Amino acid sequence: MLFSRYRELIGEDYMGYRNHVYRTITYALHFLDNAEEYEQIVETAFVYHDIGLWTDHELAYLEPSEAVALADNAEYGWGLDPELLRGAIHWHHKITPYKASIKKSLKPAVKLTGLMRQKVWFAKG
């Protein structure tokens, strides 16, 4: 469902990107013990994590990817925490562990973003 609105835009890269996203979602949810509380944010963040490559035709795609994800989150009323969504997308290629100023609301962001960056590396193969 998240992918369907971008299928035509992604074009011939669609199946490869979709498969990459599905692999990373599977790995991330596995390492999150398939916790339902993370399912929607993990799925959404991974669908959008590279989408700026196609929406903005830019190799500097992180900010465009974040912007599209945040706009769709607002437009479709998904109710995802915008900072958590932005952080998961923005830091998914970070080499060192992700650290945020640890206030209670950001603890899930630290865990999720750390897993996203590791799973993207793992799923490249």
- Residue of higher predicted confidence among 118 and 18: 18
Determine which of 11-20, 40-49, 116-125 has the lowest per-residue pLDDT on average.
116-125
**pLDDT at residue 123 tops 60:** no
Rounded CA gap, 112 and 65, in Å? Answer: 17
Q: What is the pLDDT of residue 1?
A: 76
Read off the pLDDT of residues 50-77 as tens digits, 9 standing for 90 and up: 999 999 998 999 999 999 999 999 999 9
Q: What is the pLDDT of residue 102?
A: 47
Q: Provide the residue range defining the domain that includes 60.
A: 4-122
Q: How confident is the model at residue 22 (pLDDT cuts 50, 70, 90)?
A: very high
- Residue of higher predicted confidence among 17 and 96: 17
**pLDDT at residue 12 tops 90:** yes
Mean pLDDT in residue range 98-117: 58
Q: What is the pLDDT of residue 87?
A: 87
Rounded CA gap, 96 and 12, in Å? Answer: 33
CA dihedral 16, 35, 113, 122 (to 10 degrees): -40
Q: In total, how many domains does the chain have?
A: 1
